[in-house]
Amino acid sequence: MIRLLDFQLSGRLLFGRGALSELPSALARLNVERVLIVTDPGLVRAGLCARVVDTLAGTNIEHAVFDGVEPDPRMAIVERCLAAARDSGCEALIGLGGGSALDIAKITAALLTNPGDVSQYFGVDQIPNASLPKVLIPTTSGTGSEVSPIAILSDVDAHLKKGVVSHRLYADVAIVDPDLTLGLPPHITAYTGVDALTHAIEAYTNKYAHPLVDGFALQAIELINNSLRRAVACGDDPEARFEMSMASTLGGFCLGTVNTGAVHALAYPLGGEFDVPHGVANSLLLPYVMRYNLISNVDRFAHIARVMDCQTEGLSQREAAELSVDAVMELCRDVGIVSRMRDLDVPESAIESMAEAAMDVTRLLSINPRTVTLEAAREIYRQAY
Ligand SMILES: [Fe+2]
């Protein structure tokens, strides 16, 4: 029997080239006049923050900026952002950036209306009160955080990434403007794009996969296969950027409803212990987890191969399914992502502790299509090494 689907998206999605210009009217509809822009120093330097501020010129909306977001942010960043938000007296937050900035904006908006600190809200559905309004504007194509109910933080003491999952984290407005990604460097384009691919492949193959969501996942896979190489090779190709923005958003649609699986679970210790960017960790592990999961649903992996343009005529379903793994490896290679863990200064001796840490990510392992034992986790890391 197909499980009952609980499907929710952000309050509003404004998608398309030039969508950023809709920000003032979106804020007016939310009835707010004072906002805090949550972003990182790189985006301030790149002038993207100024582009957002420029849209507010001539309106009655006042703004302040918190530009202290770091990649794979620690919990301490939430505290700093919270202090900045309180100082500014803001009525809404604008998250501008990659997944890290959007996640910090989401959690801060929730903590402004909920007691205590972030550590008590890890896990699923722990946030009792509605958040302050938030508008999320991605500048990468990868996390899908702008339409997901998930925020990920680094717990430095536990050497692990931890997730807050709550409907309180959905954006009131997501503004996805592909033009904001035109200047994204090739390596970030590559690994964020593979993050989006991972969302789609895991959502299409995990235990929670659902026919209503399959279409989003498959379209995302197809778009990424068509456009990621072009977006990396020629960052100012508006069509490739548009398709990657679309793929990222479609991948995000899958996150709250179907979520991911063992790739993400095994990627967290790599990020938590060794600061490997999330997309890089995913791309290292994705082919090996796919190969491990293959027998759980050969037909679905064979379908991924067809969507990724593999020549499957005359092959058995099993042979076709194997091609999906090859296609993912080839894509990661083409866009220049490091293919072995050893090249990232991760010692081989860390495999044991990473495998043990990954086993604690039960919210994702429990929906992986094939049961992941400790020995299986070790073996996947060994293969990726
Ligand atoms: Fe991800």
- Alpha-carbon gap, residue 53 to 309, rounded angstroms: 42
Topology given in CATH for the domain delimited by 12-181: Rossmann fold (3.40.50)
For the chain, the average pLDDT equals 96
Mean pLDDT computed over 115-132: 95
Res. 273 pLDDT band, cuts 50 70 90: confident
207 burial via Cβ count (<10 Å: 0-12, 13-18, 19+): middle
CA distances from 52 to 37, 171, 176, 255 (A): 9, 17, 13, 27
171 Cα to the center of ligand 1, angstroms: 18
117 Cα to the center of ligand 1, angstroms: 24
Q: Give the pLDDT confidence score for residue 97 in this predicted structure.
A: 98
- For the stretch 126-144, pLDDT in tens is 999 999 999 999 999 999 9
Q: Give the pLDDT confidence score for residue 368 in this predicted structure.
A: 98
29 Cα to the center of ligand 1, angstroms: 31
Rg (CA), the chain: 20
The residue ranges of every structural domain in the chain are 12-181, 186-384
11 Cα to the center of ligand 1, angstroms: 21
- Alpha-carbon gap, residue 94 to 173, rounded angstroms: 9
Nearest to 102 by CA among 236, 278, 273, 229: 278
Res. 226 pLDDT band, cuts 50 70 90: very high
Give the class (CATH, top level) of 186-384: mainly alpha
143 Cα to the center of ligand 1, angstroms: 5
281 Cα to the center of ligand 1, angstroms: 9
- For the stretch 30-77, pLDDT in tens is 999 999 999 999 999 999 999 999 999 999 999 999 999 998 889 999
Residue 1 has pLDDT above 80, yes or no: no
Predicted TM-score (pTM) of the model is: 0.96
265 Cα to the center of ligand 1, angstroms: 10
Residues 6+ apart with CB under 8 A from 357: 159, 160, 268, 269, 272, 273
Mean pLDDT computed over 252-279: 92
Residue 271 has pLDDT above 80, yes or no: yes
369 Cα to the center of ligand 1, angstroms: 17
Measured from the Cβ of residue 183, the count of other Cβ atoms closer than 10 Å reads 13
Residue 331 has pLDDT above 90, yes or no: yes
Residue 124 has pLDDT above 80, yes or no: yes
Residue 2 has pLDDT above 90, yes or no: no
62 Cα to the center of ligand 1, angstroms: 33
218 Cα to the center of ligand 1, angstroms: 16
List, in sequence order, every beta strand (DSSP E) within the chain.
12-15, 34-38, 62-66, 92-97, 123-124, 134-138, 150-155, 160-165, 173-176
- For the stretch 147-176, pLDDT in tens is 999 999 988 887 778 899 999 999 999 999
Measured from the Cβ of residue 197, the count of other Cβ atoms closer than 10 Å reads 28
- Alpha-carbon gap, residue 332 to 324, rounded angstroms: 12
Q: Give the pLDDT confidence score for residue 272 in this predicted structure.
A: 84
158 Cα to the center of ligand 1, angstroms: 20
Mean pLDDT computed over 310-332: 97
Nearest to 124 by CA among 84, 80, 168: 168
